[in-house]
Amino acid sequence: MVDAPFAVRRSAHLRLGRRGERLAQRLLRELGLDLLVRNYRGPNGEIDLVARDGEVLCFVEVKTRRRHAHSRPADAVGRAKRRRIVRTAHRYLRDIGSPQIRYRFDIVELVLHEGRLLDARYWRQAFSEEDMRGSLRFPSTPDA
């Protein structure tokens, strides 16, 4: 077997991520969240989706994998990634005038096979600023 050139693999990976973000947007809308921003970029990183759930601002990381992946999509959100998300969220809050608003960090996990959605899980409050030291601990059931 011959590996595809890096550019081809990279573009397939980016297409998968974009598809996942579109599916995550649909899921969040169905759950009643208002989508505010897609792919907010700050100097420290990017936040896939910013949404509002009632009076709470949600910074949402979307992780998409193909069916044959060896780990859960959210396993890719390690400590360093969480720190970047938190720093980028703080920048977003400054950019919008530092409102006194509650916020949380959510994760949407998606598993696709041949372009079809096999599994979607939404973890509200998947992590907080206080638990940056450890690994993610998910409740036994996702919110959706």
| Domain with 29 in it | 6-129
Supply the pLDDT for residue 66: 78
Both tokens of 100, joined, read: 């006194």
pTM over 0.95: no
Q: Strands 45-53, 34-42: parallel, antiparallel or unpaired by DSSP?
A: antiparallel
Distance (Å) of CA 90 to CA 42, 69, 129, 135: 10, 32, 11, 21
pLDDT tens track of the chain, all 144 residues? Answer: 334 454 545 577 677 778 889 999 999 999 999 999 999 999 989 999 999 999 999 999 999 887 766 777 777 788 889 999 999 999 999 999 988 899 999 999 998 888 788 889 999 999 998 866 555 555 555 666
Both tokens of 20, joined, read: 């996942």
Residue 54 lies in a domain: yes
Q: For residue 122, give the CATH number of its domain.
A: 3.40.1350.10
Give the count of domains, the chain.
1
Residue 144 lies in a domain: no
Both tokens of 139, joined, read: 């409740």
Residue 26 lies in a domain: yes
Burial class (CB in 10 A: 0-12, 13-18, 19+), 119: middle
